[in-house]
Each structure stands twice: as C-alpha cells, then as structure tokens.
Amino acid sequence: MMIRAKATRGFSLAEVLVAISILALIVMLCYGVFARVMDSRERAEVITRHYHEVRQAMLRMSHEISMAYLSCFYDITERRTKTTFTTHRGAGGTRLDFTSFSHFRTKVDANESDQNELSYFVEPDHAHPGKSALMRREQNRIDDDPATGGREQVLAEGVTDLKFSFYDAKQDRWDDEWDSAATEHNGPGNPALPLFVKIELKALAPNGKEETFVTKTRLFMTKRFAGFGYQCVVE
C-alpha cells in the first residue's frame, strides 16, 4: 500500500502583504513612541539646564555680595585704589559695582589676593541676537576706577531684568538704590553697606514665559575698615 505525502501549502501574496503591513504599522507605532520619549527627554534637559544655570547665578551673586567691603586705607601720595558699593539704573535693570573679598586664585604664586572688583548687570547677548544675558565683570586687582576693566562673562542666559533692594538697618527700611559715597552712608554711626541685599532676577523660561527669581543675602561687613582711633574721610 503506497502512502502519498501531503503537499505543503505556502503563503499567498495577499497574506505576505498583510503581514508586511502589520509589521510596518508596529514599527511606525514603536518609532512614534520612541521619538516622543526622546523629545520629552530633550525638553526635560533644557528645562533642567535653565533652572540650574539661574540657581547657580543667584547662588554666586549671593555669596560674592555677602563678602563686599569698603576701606579707608589708600596710598596718600598716589591714590591707586578705591573701594565702592554703588548702583546704577539702566535699560536692563540695576547695575551693581562693588569691591569684595571673594576672589579665588587659580594660579600658584599669582600676584593676586582675595580682593577684587565685581559688577553685575544685564546687557544684550552677543552670542544670541535678540536676547539678553546676566553679565559678571571681575577685575582681580583693585584700582582707582572700580566700575571698569577686568573680564566680562555670561553668568546666565535669557535674563531680561535685574533688580537689587538694600536694607538700611539704621533707617529700618528697604531702598532701591545704594551709593557708598553718599552723605547718609558716610556719617559717624551710619552704615556704609546695607545689612541685607535682595536680588530679583527675571528670566525667560524655555516655554517663552518670563519668570521671577528672588533671594536675599546678608553682608558680613557693613562698616568701613579704618585704623583704631581714626575716622574715615570719603572723597
């Protein structure tokens, strides 16, 4: 008795096309999910980087402002140094120029100390036309013009406004401006520097909305350095 082998039946063209269509649909769905995950990850990184940059800028300003100081000492025959703590209003908000003990030496045996000139202000960002940035100027040697010179760097991008408020402990009030050379800050018993400084910074978030960040810092030295038994005379 002969047993005939059963013929095996292959896939038809229609079945192959249906299988390929289903596979293509699955690939498209997986790619869409993957693309959305990658896009969400990139947006999260941009947001995280933005807030980290602003937070670090506020922290650095708070630290350096807290170490501001004024001194009465200078070379009487040739005045080469001048300390200050002064604000100026401009298009980007308030500019603060001051002298501080916050300089950090990065080179061994550098002819530098912990004293420096610092400035904070907002100006157009040359790297991103149409936007503005928070700038930091530092000069590691104090001279007779503490508002110019040194090196400028971008501290935070997308900053639109910078405002400072100063707490006068003697008057028990907050002022929007401060000038260490003004008469009310030079008399006996008057504070040469504010006790607290409030920093208000406005910056554009990644979604284009303007956000406000606020912090406060305390100054450790509110009076001018002067020799024992001597009185400061500010020119």
pLDDT above 70 (res 78): no
Q: Two tokens at 149?
A: 């010179």
| pLDDT given for residue 60 in this prediction | 96
Please list, in sequence order, all residues whose beta carbon lies within 8 angstroms of the beta carbon of residue 232, skipping any fewer than 6 positions away: 72, 186, 192, 224, 226
Distance CA 84, CA 69 (A): 8
The tens digit of pLDDT for each residue in 89-130 reads 988 889 999 999 998 888 888 888 889 999 999 999 988 888
User: Cα separation of 76 and 158, whole Å?
Assistant: 44
For the segment 34-70, what is each residue's pLDDT rounded down to a tens digit? 788 788 888 888 889 999 999 999 999 999 999 999 9
pTM: 0.79
The 10 Å Cβ neighbour count of residue 24 is 10
Task: Map residue 78 onto helix, strand or coil.
Answer: coil
Higher pLDDT, 232 or 214: 214
